[in-house]
Chain A
Amino acid sequence: MKELRLMKGNEAIAEAAIRCGCDGYFGYPITPQSEILEHLMKEKPYENTGMVVLQAESEVASINMVYGGASVGKKVMTTSSSPGISLMQEGLSYISGAELPALVVNVVRGGPGLGTIQPSQADYFQTVKGGGHGDYRLITLAPASVQEMYDFVELGFDLAFKYRAPVMILTDGIIGQVMEKVVVDDYKPRWTEEYIAKTYPWAATGKTKLRERNIVTSLYLESARQEQLNKTLQAKYKVVEENEIRYETFQCEDAEYLLVAYGSSARICQKVLQLARAEGIKVGLIRPITLWPYPTKIIHEVGTKMKGILSVEMNAGQMIEDVKLAVECKVPVKHYGRFGGIVPTPSEILDALKTL
């Protein structure tokens, strides 16, 4: 039965994991996302759904536990915040190379270094341009509400298993900490071992007499085989780009100016739309929901008709590169952002919009 709750974004991630039939969560505390592990430990899913919840000794261990769990065909996940996600990059590269499904959540905080615990979007490059080594991509979902935090957990697992690739939910301290209304689903049963063995024949679930042994690896000492793996990955990424782009548009029909923003920035920009329209400025907003694959086409279609575009990000200007590529520099594109944990106010974004 569906149920209405008031929840923090972080709690919604945890609750969604339990209810969508996640098999295992492995994580390490870090602000501003510790509520995820706390909520899971409080709910004790291992006593009802059988989901494993384990506090690991580090983020490095967490992502490698996820690597292990994914190797055996289970729905496994971890969550962290920026410094912890940096530690996970090697693991993400292995998971990508071994073509395994996994879900990782980054509740971004300000950096570089230990930085601040306040919200930020400074991990865009790390996430969508490849944080770890090698030619791989992370399917990246950017929720802008607590309901989306909830919904994207199941969506993330679906995409991860559909493409045998890790999926990142890229969010930040605002969406992690805010409480909003959420409709939660009924509990879905976890997959049985028989189902996994039948549905995911690549999973290392134990060599039966009916099949050869399964090997999960990203190591191919022969360059020709390694190149073949890369070709397979690139072909897969092309299919993802053709099928999985998600975005939302706001008041673009009559707009003369365009804001492009994702996640919490997109929420703040919705307020900017109200303020700007009250002053007679015709402005629209495109919110990329997938950051990779990026909604290049819609931004090109809408953006090239504009007088100017403002990329609003809580960083020094990272996504702006993708916006510029999308409009092929036919329209002036500027960036507005605050960093280090400062959240831009709707009024200061409006002021920046007026300079276009």
Chain B
Amino acid sequence: MTKEEIIKPENLVYKKTPVLTNNVMHYCPGCGHGLIHRLIAEVIEEMDIQDKSIGVAPVGCAVLAYNYFNVDCIQAAHGRAPALATAINRLYPEHFVFTYQGDGDLAAIGTAETIHACNRGENIVMFFVNNGIYGMTGGQMAPTTLKDMKTSTSPYGRDLNIMGNPLKITELIAQLPGAVYVTRQAVYTPALARKCKKAIRKAFENIKLKQGTSFVEIVSNCNSGWKLPPVKSNEWLEQNMLLFYPLGDLKINN
């Protein structure tokens, strides 16, 4: 069979969405970020809203997310993505504004901006990738780091008496009247990834319907930070992270 014989529309099984660029991702092999990016980009393509989408990148591993999303993007200061998204949403109310943040960005330094944007019910989507660690800076303790979990700043494990408790910020967000759709997803199996994509779709549909804030947590892995091979890291995620951060919808609007 020649190449030309293979490349035919009827033989197509997978096509990269044009809402992702051709840049090679800097994420570690096995990391969930790449897949999460793809799911978001596919939803933007399927809803045909590329020209009206504006992404706000965080500080953290996804700081370079704008290299991959083929939409207009702004790189925010650490923790402030919801403040930027608030203004953009108010100034361009017909646009689809989303933030993409990690646990340190969204649930530590940016807690105030996160809670207030959700409480005001900004008509945006906030994607919260929770891997329980500061990946970008080399594996320090995050607000979501589990009890006894070892990181470079909790080398003997997270001692709750000294370091405080892991923060379930998504449960907090679900209490706020402005947050209309609050869900916790994962992408480490194909089935979960498909489910996650549905959640992403619903979140973007909420913007179209001007419902308020949609908050999508995605519990993900950090094989480098956790010092585990990719497959092992997914097993660890399932056996540890999900016990404390159970998957499912916390709040669903009509």
Q: Do chains A and B touch in the complex (CB under 8 A)?
A: yes
- Please give the residue numbers on chain A whose beta carbons come within 8 Å of chain B beta carbons, in ascending order: 23-24, 26, 52, 54, 56-58, 60-62, 64-69, 71-72, 74, 76, 90-91, 94, 98, 193, 204-209, 213-219
Contact of B92 with A72 in the complex, beta carbons under 8 Å? yes
21 sampled A-B residue pairs with Cβ under 8 A = A26-B87, A54-B86, A57-B116, A60-B83, A64-B77, A65-B84, A67-B83, A67-B84, A68-B74, A68-B83, A68-B84, A68-B87, A69-B88, A91-B80, A98-B75, A204-B74, A206-B51, A207-B51, A213-B70, A214-B72, A215-B66
B71 beta carbon closer than 8 Å to chain A: yes
Beta-carbon contact of A68 and B88 below 8 Å: yes
Known: A52-B90, A207-B51. 5 other contacts (CB 8 A): A57-B116, A68-B87, A91-B80, A206-B92, A217-B74
In the bound assembly, the distance between CA atoms of A225 and B212 in angstroms comes to 39
Give B18-72 interface residues, CB cut-off 8 Å to A: 21, 50-54, 56-57, 63-64, 66, 69-72
Q: Find chain A residues with CB under 8 A from B52 CB.
A: 206
Q: Which residues of B contact A57 (CB under 8 A)?
A: 112-113, 116
Task: Give Cα A60–Cα B66 distance, bound, in whole angstroms.
Answer: 23
B197 sits at the interface (CB 8 A): no
Chain A residue contacts of B21, Cβ below 8 A: 213
- Which B residue sits closest to A204, measured CB to CB? B72
Q: What is B's interface to A at a CB cutoff of 8 Å?
A: 21, 50-54, 56-57, 63-64, 66, 69-77, 80, 83-88, 90-92, 95, 112-113, 116
Instruction: Find the B residue at minimum CB distance from A76.
Output: B87
CA distance A8 to B85 in the complex (A): 33
Question: Chain A contacts of B83 at CB under 8 A?
Answer: 56, 60-62, 64-65, 67-68
| Distance of A26 Cα from B84 Cα, bound (Å) | 11
Cross-chain contact B73 with A206 (CB below 8 angstroms): no
Instruction: Report yes or no: A205 in contact with B84, Cβ–Cβ below 8 A.
Output: no
CA distance A56 to B76 in the complex (A): 17
Residues of B within 8 A of A219 (CB): 63-64, 75
